[in-house]
Amino acid sequence: MFDGCSSLESLDLSKWNTSKVKSFARMFYGCSKLTNLKIDNFDTSKVTNMTDMFSRNSNLISLDLSNFDTSNVTAMLNMFNSCTSLTMVDISGFNTNKVTNMNYMFSRCFALTTIYVSPFDASTEMGWSTAEVTTALNMFGSCSNLVGGNGTEYSATYKDATYARIDTEETPGYFTDIADKI
């Protein structure tokens, strides 16, 4: 829809009805000057594909997608790839229980320091999970500033889904529990 809108600086889509949308693939791909994006009221309950949704948005600094319902999403590959100025992303509302592909999801997010998620709750089957992920090549490639909530720093050794979990003393990871957000 906005794929390649390289001069677009601001978008307010908060009043859009997206209740029937099944794919947001490449929706904001390559919007390299976009700094202000208001999509917090998007109804994403029917969406199955978020491939490249924000990829190559080099001027976005933060994204709060905590209201997104991703319970039907299976593809998140390249979702934030090359968001080179992105420092924080809140995906604490994400339910990734059905996601199978997370290839390059955060790759080349050089400035990214914090990713907020919610712990997976088996009783409700809600929250962050990589249980169904079959491919996560270079998921965190070149995210050299990324630090988990317990202080685990990015390592090129763990750039796949291995550290795609909340950082605790027992299990190092790159995510921060939303409960720890100040």
CATH code of residue 142: 3.80.10
pTM over 0.85: yes
Residue type, 8: L
Rg, C-alpha atoms of the chain: 15
pLDDT one digit per residue (tens) for the chain, 182 residues: 899 999 999 999 999 999 999 999 999 999 999 999 999 899 999 999 999 999 999 999 999 999 999 999 999 999 999 999 999 999 999 999 999 999 999 999 999 999 999 999 999 889 999 999 999 999 999 999 999 999 999 999 999 999 999 999 999 999 999 999 87
Alpha-carbon gap, residue 97 to 112, rounded angstroms = 24
pLDDT attached to residue 125: 87
- Residue 154 is given by DSSP the state P
Q: How many domains does the chain have?
A: 1
125: left (phi over 0), alpha (psi -120 to 50) or beta: left
Nearest by Cα to 176 from 126, 113, 84: 113
Range of the domain at 70: 1-182
